[in-house]
Amino acid sequence: METKKCSRCGRELPTTEFNWANRAAGKLQSMCRSCCSRYNKARYSSDRERFKADVRRYESENPEKVLETRLKTNAKCPTKLNAQKCVEAALKCGAIVRPDVCWGCGCGSDEHRIEAHHHDYARPLDVIWLCTPCHRRMDARRRGREGLTPYGTRKK
């Protein structure tokens, strides 16, 4: 088993304890994973607001790239939260537009909030727009068909 010495803690560790610096060239980082993690945590906590501002600036300057990343993440793991984040990113970059009326009952956005409803989380941008009451009814019907309780757990 190959070993390498960490430049920070000085321990001799297996090479599996080091992240890649350049995989194509076969080079490993000089710090072990635990030292690298401690270093990054300290660096983030010392300047948290700047890191958050950088992320906000990137997201506002590159909404199409954010949407692309969200869609890739959802393709790997199609969950409710990932699908919601995809819709949010698509709204920000203008890929989809929130309508002013409910698809279910036709009420306007001045009466109720208009929300995106997913029939399938694997298709995150395939949504219908419903007011909050219609959305709750649609979700209740889906839970009934799937044999779930109102809280999303299986009926016994």
Which string of DSSP letters, residue by residue, matches 51-74?
HHHHHHHHHHH-HHHHHHHHHHHH
> Is residue 151 pLDDT above 70, yes or no?
no
Q: pLDDT tens-digit profile of 102-119?
A: 999 999 989 999 999 999
60 and 83 in a single domain? The answer is yes
8 Å CB contact between 156 and 137:
no
Question: Residue 115 gets which letter from DSSP?
Answer: E
On average, the pLDDT of the chain sits at 93
Range of the domain at 141: 55-145
79 and 137 in a single domain? The answer is yes
- Give me the number of domains the chain comprises: 2
- Identify the pLDDT of residue 125: 96
Q: In b/e form, how buried is each residue of 22-57, taking b as 16+ CB within 10 angstroms? A: eeeeeebbebbeebbeeeeeeeeeeeeeeeeeeeee
Alpha carbon distance 72, 78 (integer Å) = 10
> Is residue 144 pLDDT above 90, yes or no?
no
Query: How many angstroms separate the Cα of 96 from the Cα of each of 19, 64, 72, 124, 126?
Result: 39, 12, 17, 11, 10
Q: pLDDT tens-digit profile of 48-91?
A: 999 999 999 999 999 999 999 999 999 999 999 999 999 999 99
Whether 78 is in a domain gets the answer yes
117 and 67 in a single domain? The answer is yes
